[in-house]
Structure 1
């Protein structure tokens, strides 16, 4: 018991120091969950121990908040000094008494455009110095008074019309009566990071293709279309003054000078990319301005090391999605883990996981900070869980690759290019590990990841020339028929890179993971179950049906000595074909009094 108490105390002190150094005045009290990931390390781990292996089976709902807006509820709540702040579908925000669920105030967002990228989901807010910050799907960054919900400032970061393309409209018209959703319209999904008096957030929608519904009315089971040439926008990350909303710096994902890179034949860790380098170089002059619409969406909140003054973030796929000939070269700095100076936005280093990417393997899951064991001793490292099925460890100051885990899925035709006859590749664009946060327990040095196993078929198609419109080529990405599809919750020992245990889920896992010093890992499923696993063995010790798919990361906090677990249950997938309903509930659990 003494050792457990000491470990918990150290974890609390470390979290408090990290927040103090970050410039935030929000105290990391023992019971708080004051920021995305709990602290700037993005660890999604709590030192609380009241709920543990011995009693988690007694966990029961204690209160429920219903937002009144159904669907795509993906937010991670933030809890500061007994108040919970949560964003809902459509970018509305509520402040709740974290002990009782009583509504303290609500903010109703009025979007300036109905045309947004993807479903109207939002993944959370940030709280600092009496303000609540949110980045919205219609391209705004806003600050609310934390006590009243009053709008303090509203910065239009993206013009409402930004992102329209004639090419997209032309292709949509050729697809007949199949419903089409999406375009390269810019907006925000990620919870902001607040550091050094700055609100830092990046756009999504920069390089995504059109979604074509299948015969069941779903999108995940349909296809994603990436169009040849002229489709996409430059992704970017920007910092705004926390007091005024004025933009302080902006970093663009696509490199203006030399985005072609070195025409790498392998990934940096040595896996062949199967590129036609000669064809790319031959097309380079014709497509020398491809970087101007080069993509690179930013999906999730950066990790932050205040001692180094660096933030670490993953970047998305280049545009046009899944179609590489009109964007020759490596397409820097898409598909990368990058380190930026927090005060200026200057690039310090990058590691491009997949140069010239054609499969939708965005570096999407939020990076997290760890202490890595190497032959030279302990090294401050940053870890990133990838869609390709690896967890990478990098030295923080230089980006040097320290280690890579064993593959967490079974690969099939990895990096085989799309083809007219259709190429089956595993994993598909949904993962291995997508945007969902990975929890990290520093005591055990284990990461806990929701891993999706599945394959996709990548097919190049042609639309004949018509009138003044030339021939149009595009890549269609659809679920590979006959290939196994399932999810596992997997624990990875970061010292060895090996999976310690892996448990197959009853439905697709979603939302991300939470680990606690009570020896537990919480993980949500698309069928509505929230599960609590033994962190040591993976055994399910408790589960509860929340009534709708789990869409957001679970969190835990304490008020007046009582520990709670909270999770958003509003539907986890933008597909009608999943068979699971949508909802509007934030469900909060506790042990009986």
Structure 2
């Protein structure tokens, strides 16, 4: 259960900096806010603030620090509105802080209905709009808090406690060698909500079922993901709730009830062979007509929104059972896709499936971002999607037409080769190339800045023989291919020049949390060893580093008050730091230049 918010404590601000208190300006007049996840509806994670720039970033130092008292999995991006910084934690607690000093204005302690949740208890942020703070929780609730007091305005149970329940994890622990097994127990929410058109929009995770088996070090990163034959997934969905009352207005399901098999595509939409056994899938189809009912499709990150078109853009996750395709023949629509939905109704306008019939865990996890694409006849309003497969795709916002695909961000190996009994090594593995951490985009330069993981995984089909009380169990085990290179790069992709790689810089430890770009010519990027780095946006050169004391696992933001610019980032580690030698923590660290 969550720790009491009495455990929230404020470490003394760095008093030598001498931050002066001031009365916040009205929201309409306050400059330099960070009002929502991704900064605005474009999801670009870019700020036009330039007070901190290439010439002075080396003097950046801590201004204040806030310790939540809840350690680990601290993946939230803060939001700053009207001089107040709003922050959620693992366990879904929320704090409102004076953005100048870190003084606590109010706290909300979340009382979860259950300790059974999907995966680590991470939460990736809140939304603030119309005097309310919105949060979607891991125990399946959408909550509105009064932005001035923290009192609950409404609390809507979006997922029933038993929805998604399964006991498969405990039942298979002994059969999989006795190693600790972590599995999906129910649906819940991880993403920061999107507020648009008077609606609070959020999607569930935990639908694309997979067991995670711990490795020797006690972590999940080097361990395996097990996709088991049969109906162990759940049906993913995205829903919209009335911002004033919490009443559900529409719900869109990821798995297509009528025709989820699709066209049995032999290639991806951009022409890459999928190496599928189409005859075998078609032969298995009659016995699996209802597979869509447990077909997966988690939604990991906040949609982008085009108010002129009235469309939201969101990526969908892997089909279930994860990495094992025989019991779900067909393309498994609309998993592994970038989709455009009508914001008012949730009706599907278009979709682009990056990986039909996925068997590798290539969720479209990264938040899409809006750009203007340079077409032959002039600018085209477009939406970009950084992928786990190793490309950035660019689509026409109105139609979904694929306009461009970047150069590969990694060295791909055996891409889309199916799992085998002898083990198939494929690069990238299920953690990406680019996973959920956001990619920043600078419209002036046309450069997108992505944290890219270089690594491979081994996909092995295994069988547990039938026993007295159970049938034979077939599954795919996915583990890190340790003989293959494994490292991270911060990579700049020139989307204004055909998607070429402008520069790529290898990091000392794995990158995490996502990127922030600013008009000061800087890109901020976090590492799992605790460093927050500031790179020259034009060259990638590291201009400043600071050790935050725990892994950076959430996206940084920047804001300004009274003419002073700040950079804020959560430092709490993640599930991937367990057993890695890098610690977890509970701190929000806020930086500024000395006065």
For structure 1, which segment, 384-393 or 172-181, has the greater mean C-alpha deviation from structure 2 after superposition?
172-181
Contact 1:26 1:34 in 2 (8 A): no
TM-aligned CA distance change 1:28 to 1:417, over 3 Å: farther
Once the two structures are superposed, residues 557-577 of structure 1 have per-residue CA deviations (whole angstroms, 9 ceiling, x without a partner) of 001110000000000334422
Separation (CA, whole Å) in 2 of partners of 1:176 and 1:350: 41
* 8 Å CA contact 1:201, 1:238 repeated in 2: yes
**Which ranges in structure 2 are unaligned for 5 or more consecutive residues?**
1-25
Q: Hey, what's the Cα distance between the residues in 2 that align with 1:52 and 1:479? A: 39
1:11 — aligned with what? none
Aligned to 1:350: 351
Aligned residue for 2:293, secondary structure, equals helix
Taking the TM superposition and a 5 Å limit, the aligned residue runs for 1:30-69 are 30-69=31-70
Contact 1:122 1:190 in 2 (8 A): yes
Question: In the alignment, which residue of structure 1 is the partner of 2:9?
Answer: none
Are the equivalent residues in 1 in contact too, given 2:169–2:183 (CA < 8 A)? Answer: no
Cα displacement string for residues 480-506 of structure 1 (whole angstroms, at most 9, x for unaligned residues): 021000000000000221010000000
Moved more, 456-465 or 28-37: 28-37
Tell me if 1:557 matches 2:559: yes
Which residue does 2:15 correspond to in 1?
none
Q: Verify the 8 A CA contact 2:167 2:185 in the aligned structure 1.
A: no
2 CA distance for matches of 1:292 and 1:263? 19
Unaligned runs of 5+ in 1: 1-24
- Inter-CA distance 245–405: structure 2 relative to 1 (3 Å threshold): same
- Please list the CA deviations of residues 180-206 of structure 1 after superposition, one character each: whole Å capped at 9, or x if unmatched: 112152100000000111000000010
Alpha carbons 2:138, 2:190 under 8 Å: kept: yes
User: Offset at 1:362?
Assistant: 0.2
CA contact (8 A) 1:280 1:325 kept: yes
**Residue aligning to 1:248:** 249
Partner residue, 1:580: 582
Match of 1:493 in 2: 494
- 1:92-150 CA-to-partner distances (Å, cap 9, x unmatched) read 00000000000000000010010000111100000000000000001000000000000
Q: CA deviation at 1:214?
A: 1.1
Q: Distance in 1 between matches of 2:514 and 2:552?
A: 9
Equivalent residue, structure 1, for 2:461: 460
Question: Within 5 A, what are the aligned runs for 1:84-163?
Answer: 84-163=85-164
Tell me how large the CA RMSD over aligned residues is: 1.1
CA contact (8 A) 2:191 2:300 kept: yes
Q: Deviations over 1:393-438 (max 9, x none)?
A: 0000100000000101000100000011111000000110000100
Report how many residues are paired: 569
In structure 2, the residue corresponding to 1:37 is in which secondary structure?
coil
Do structure 1's residue 528 and structure 2's residue 530 form an aligned pair?
yes
Partner of 2:549: 547
Deviation at 1:208, TM superposition (A): 3.2
Distance (whole Å) between structure 1 residues aligned to residue 283 and residue 581 of structure 2 = 47
Contact 2:54/2:543 (<8 A) preserved: yes
- CA distance, structure 2, for counterparts of residue 28 and residue 443 of structure 1: 25
- For the residues of structure 1 that align with 2:173 and 2:192, how far apart are their CA atoms? 31
Q: How does 1:429-440 map to 2 (within 5 A)?
A: 429-440=430-441
Per the alignment, residue 6 of structure 2 pairs with none
Give CA-to-partner distance per residue, 1:218-254, whole Å, 9 cap, x none. Answer: 1111111111011100000000000110100000000
Q: Give the match for residue 314 of structure 1.
A: 315
Aligned twin of 1:519 = 521
Contact kept, 8 Å, 1:26 with 1:129, in 2: the verdict is: no
How far apart in 2 are the matches of 1:30 and 1:534?
24
**Contact 2:219 2:575 survives alignment (8 Å):** no
Secondary structure of the 2:171 match is helix
What is aligned with 1:331? 332
The match for 2:195 is: 194
Q: TM-score, normalised by structure 2?
A: 0.94
- Counterparts of 1:167 and 1:35 in 2: how far apart (Å)? 38
Query: Could you say which residue in structure 2 is the equivalent of 1:399?
Result: 400
SS in structure 1 of the partner of residue 575 of structure 2? coil
Is the contact between residue 116 and residue 185 of structure 2 (CA under 8 Å) also seen in structure 1?
no
Contact 2:551 2:577 in 1 (8 A): no
Residue of structure 2 equivalent to 1:387 = 388
CA distance in 2, matches of 1:28, 1:453: 44
Counterpart of 2:225 in structure 1 is: 224
Query: Residue 417 of structure 1 aligns to a residue in which SS?
Result: coil
In the superposition, the TM-score normalised over structure 1's length comes to 0.95
Distance 2:267 2:483 in 1: 29
Task: Report the Cα distance in structure 2 between the residues aligned to 1:446 and 1:486, rounded to whole angstroms.
Answer: 22
Residue 203 of structure 1 corresponds to which residue in structure 2? 204
Pairwise CA distance, 1:31: 1.2
SS at match of 2:292: helix
SS of alignment partner, residue 346 of structure 2? coil
1:161–1:361: structure 2 CA closer, same or farther, 3 Å change rule?
Answer: same
Cα distance in 2 for partners of 1:33, 1:507 equals 28
Partner of 1:174, secondary structure, is: coil
Aligned residue for 2:482, secondary structure, equals coil
Kindly provide the CA deviation profile for residues 44-94 of structure 1, in whole angstroms up to 9, marking residues without a partner as x.
000001000000000000100000000010000000010000001100000
- Structure 1: distance between partners of 2:301 and 2:393: 17
The whole-number CA distance in structure 1 between the counterparts of 2:34 and 2:47 is 8
Indicate conservation of the 8 Å contact 1:523/1:532, yes or no.
yes
> What's the CA shift for 1:170?
3.1
1:170 aligns with 2:174: no
- Residue 15 of structure 1 is matched in structure 2 by none
Shift of residue 354, structure 1, vs aligned partner? 0.2
Measure how far apart 1:578 and its partner are.
1.7
For residue 286 of structure 2, give the secondary structure of its aligned residue in structure 1: coil
User: Counterpart in 2 of 1:360?
Assistant: 361
